[in-house]
Structure 1
Amino acid sequence: MNPSQPARKLPRRTFLRGMGSVIALPFLESLVPLQSLKAAAQSGHPTAPTRMAFIYHPNGVIQDNWNAGAAGRLTNDLTRTLKPLDPLRRYVNVISGLEHKRANGNGDGPGDHARATATFLTGAQAKKTGGKDIQLGRSFDQVAADHLSNGSRFRSLELSATNARSSGTCDSGYSCAYQYNIAWQNERSPLPPQVNPRDVFKQLFGASDPKELALMEHRMLRQKSILDTLRNDTARLNRKISSEDRDQLEEYYTSLRAVEHRLQTKAFDPNDIPKDIQLPIGIPANYSEYLDAMYDLMLLAFQTDSTRVITFLQAHDGSGRSFPELGIHSGHHQLSHHRGDVGKIEDLKAIDEFYLQAFARFLEKLSKTPDGANRTLADSCMLVYGGAISDGNRHKHNNLPVILAGGAVEGNRHLIYKDEPMCNLYCAMLEKAGGTVPRFGDSSGALVGI
């Protein structure tokens, strides 16, 4: 997490503080001065800020199952992989024809998985090195944070559901820093993601004072809620806000308790930890629950305006994770080199669907979470879901699997381009959010039609 700048004129956040906790509340319209709401309406600026998230899908997809049909409105019969998004199609754009040329070798030989993860948000060619002399480029999430983070508690939030590594040699002589980080502060400094949902929860809802954080950890171990310390303040707050805001606050508390309970009760059995990954206590044993825990924390971070920019590496490219919950015991990377094997292809279809189901659950929760009058969190979001490898069997980096979701852009579309840089999408997103970035990475301009 990165600290942010001073608050905006129109307040979005209110805090309640108890022993070992500081709770940022969701946007409650009745706490905003009437003149501020009128001024915002007259200026044309919405009361809800734009939020962006970038979610990485590893090892490519089975493209026949990703195909969204002809350009235009999404068809009524989405393919198996995209089917989980069907009820949310009003928020969904499937984008075809984008590429990351700098994920190719370009003279550097093998290492497509490391380059894919590295290039996804930077559009830059990773210097081939396994040492400390790494060199890449600033990632787009940090550019977006320059424009969006003013007034939020944290400049950005970096998450991962894989083990975090920023040194050592990984794929074909490339530093592990490339393969395990999608957020980069500058060309030499990755922003290591947090992998433990429990630590993220403490960061978001605990105070910065070490003593208060210790109290919070003690309370979590005793299965107590952070809300227990805030009863008096909550009662006073309820007397000041409207009935609609009270309902919204209760919904927020309910979701907070649900996340808290999951983190208190779900942890790895040491015998269940995969051999290739060392995971700290507090990470759910079931991978689906792990993804849900991270997505729920993303929702809470947006809901409380703790941050407006999030990156989530579901798994690094080249991940060998197996999926016993799907009955799949071979590693994802191994399966991705299927060479036409029908059984492996079916397993890969199931894995692709598994990841999209988790994303769909997140988008559905956003669409049901109030964010001011007649708005939901989904309405202010631009969410990029995708990866920098299209065909894992051949390590292709063109016609990438990309979804742009959220109500901050028109939805229910299949947008088809021809060999457009992925970075053009990022430029277009920032324009939609009211910012400008003429060029980024290998962009040639803003993507038309977003």
Structure 2
Amino acid sequence: MRVIRPALSRRTVLRGAGAAMALPFLEAMMPSAKAADLSSRPKRLQVFYSPNGMTMPDFLPTATGADYVLPSSLQPLAPHREQIAVISGLGHPQAAAMGDRPAGHGRSCPAFLTGAHAKQTEGPDIRAGVSMDQVFAQHLGDATPLASLELGIDTASLLGSCDINYSCAYTNGISWLTPTVPLPVEANPRAVFERLFGDGDTDEAGRLAQLRRQSSILDFVMDDTRRLSGQLGMEDKRKLDEYLDATRAIEKRIQRSAASPATTQAANLQQPAGIPDDFAEHVKLMIDLQVLAMQADVTRVGTFMIGRELSNRTYPEIGVPDSHHMLSHHGNNPDKMAQLAKINRYHMEFFAYYLQKMKDTRDGEASLLDRTLVIRGSAFGDSNEHDYMDLPVIVAGGLVKGGRHSRVEKGTTMSNLMLAGLQTLGVPAAKFGDSTAPLRELTDA
């Protein structure tokens, strides 16, 4: 006689003294008849944002359809060609001045995920719109412990205006919970880890003490882990081990970073403890945390900013000693354009890393990427012109058809893409931002 065990609760966590760890999505959490059914897996949304626009000749393919050639800035995505779709011609009409004073970044950045016209203000009376990621998060409700995760590399600017006549709140992040509440971006990997797993220490002294002990959250939940492992099948045991190994590897990297002396950025701003000295390590660590959060189903919604809008970071590691923002206003100087193109390609390498991490992370018989809609873009196309009407947009993941370049009619609002994306994710939305219709280029098979 076959004994059928009840499905393991999706809310099951590993518990120990002062610690709690969510579990990855396991076969034991589903009725056996649905365990191998990909369509029963949760859908996810991830957004990858690069600041300061793009050198469009190095980004835009010249041909459309499936036979396009990857330009130099897109070449790092060659291993993922069949999982990506380039969509050109999209813009944000709401980023236009509409009678306001001149500005570029301050209007275009908040429009990127909201399709809304930002109120011109340097004060606290900011206003834009609800962003696409938060519409999806609200649709999911309390399906996950965290509604969403907003990560980045740069700490926020808090005072004054960052773009002329516009509050820094407009360029610090891209996620808006309500039209008046932007969500803060977290740049410290240790703070992210504690948000995901909550070790109970909230003050700096407690965190440093734990670092000196080099203790692991896994040590605290070891007994619960052993108990649970005895209830799992071979595939779930493998997946649990993989998840725990990834968690410990990230912990060790965070501990090394937090234990090192604080260093300075190019702008001579002191970094909080926990942020790696090395830019590439910092980016990869934040991406790994984002993927781990999805793997554990702590959240299904995430945004990642590889730099805040107006970023003045320099990149000497790739031979670019000049400021990113200054280079974005290149005045068509070939040398400056070449340096900007290097930065664009460098950022694309991290996007390729992002896709590979999701592709390598199992989700039942498939991968995280197979059930995730990924949007990669910037608030500008040609940054020298502050061109918000021809954006460098890539969509990726198994929820859309990849391996192609689609060119839409110039002037088509990006809100149409976001509306189609929400519908693909199962949100019964009829309108988003200034949308006119779902973008068929996203959904057509």
- What TM-score do you get using the length of structure 2 for normalisation? 0.92
Give the direction of change, closer, same or farther, for the CA distance of 1:211–1:440 in structure 2 (3 Å limit): closer
In the alignment, which residue of structure 1 is the partner of 2:372?
381
* The one of 29, 53, 58 aligned to 2:27: 29
Q: Distance in 2 between matches of 1:213 and 1:230?
A: 23
Structure 2 runs not aligned, ≥5 long: 1-6
- Residues 1:16 and 2:9 aligned together: no
Moved more, 25-34 or 438-447: 25-34
* The one of 55, 62, 74 aligned to 1:62: 55
Give the direction of change, closer, same or farther, for the CA distance of 1:211–1:173 in structure 2 (3 Å limit): closer
- Per-residue deviation, residues 76-123 of structure 1 (Å, max 9, x unmatched): x41221111111112111111100112222222322011121111111
In the alignment, which residue of structure 1 is the partner of 2:143?
151
Counting only pairs closer than 5 Å after superposition, residues 133-212 of structure 1 correspond to structure 2 as: 133-206=125-198
CA contact (8 A) 2:101 2:165 kept: no
Counting only pairs closer than 5 Å after superposition, residues 90-129 of structure 1 correspond to structure 2 as: 90-129=82-121
The alpha-carbon deviation at position 47 of structure 1 amounts to 2.8
Read off the aligned partner of 1:226 and give its amino acid letter. Answer: I
In the alignment, which residue of structure 1 is the partner of 2:402?
411
RMSD: 2.3
Q: Distance in 1 between matches of 2:234 and 2:148?
A: 32
- Per-residue deviation, residues 399-441 of structure 1 (Å, max 9, x unmatched): 1001111111121121210121011111001111122221111
In the alignment, which residue of structure 1 is the partner of 2:325?
333
SS in 1 for 2:355: helix
Counting only pairs closer than 5 Å after superposition, residues 43-62 of structure 1 correspond to structure 2 as: 46-62=39-55
- Matched residues, percent identical? 41
* The one of 397, 404, 411 aligned to 2:388: 397
Q: Distance in 1 between matches of 2:178 and 2:162?
A: 21
Structure 1 runs not aligned, ≥5 long: 1-8
Give the direction of change, closer, same or farther, for the CA distance of 1:74–1:407 in structure 2 (3 Å limit): farther
* The one of 293, 298, 313 aligned to 1:301: 293
Give the direction of change, closer, same or farther, for the CA distance of 1:275–1:79 in structure 2 (3 Å limit): same
In the alignment, which residue of structure 1 is the partner of 2:64?
71
The alpha-carbon deviation at position 307 of structure 1 amounts to 0.7
Q: Distance in 1 between matches of 2:204 and 2:362?
A: 29
CA contact (8 A) 2:85 2:404 kept: yes
CA contact (8 A) 2:211 2:255 kept: yes
In the alignment, which residue of structure 2 is the partner of 1:250?
241
SS in 2 for 1:357: helix
Give the direction of change, closer, same or farther, for the CA distance of 1:317–1:276 in structure 2 (3 Å limit): farther
In the alignment, which residue of structure 2 is the partner of 1:241?
232
- Residues 1:353 and 2:329 aligned together: no
CA contact (8 A) 1:149 1:308 kept: no
User: How many equivalent residue pairs?
Assistant: 434
Read off the aligned partner of 2:24 and give its amino acid letter. Answer: P
Q: Distance in 1 between matches of 2:298 and 2:268?
A: 33
- Residues 1:428 and 2:420 aligned together: yes
- Per-residue deviation, residues 299-357 of structure 1 (Å, max 9, x unmatched): 01100111111122221222111112112111001111112222211111110111111
Q: Distance in 2 between matches of 1:55 and 1:448?
A: 22
- Residues 1:219 and 2:210 aligned together: yes
CA contact (8 A) 1:84 1:357 kept: yes
Give the direction of change, closer, same or farther, for the CA distance of 1:15–1:220 in structure 2 (3 Å limit): farther
Q: Distance in 2 between matches of 1:266 and 1:212?
A: 18
In the alignment, which residue of structure 1 is the partner of 2:356?
364
Q: Distance in 2 between matches of 1:386 and 1:205?
A: 30
Read off the aligned partner of 2:264 and give its amino acid letter. Answer: D
Read off the aligned partner of 2:76 and give its amino acid letter. Answer: P
Q: Distance in 1 between matches of 2:299 and 2:49?
A: 19
Moved more, 407-416 or 101-110: 101-110
- Residues 1:440 and 2:432 aligned together: yes
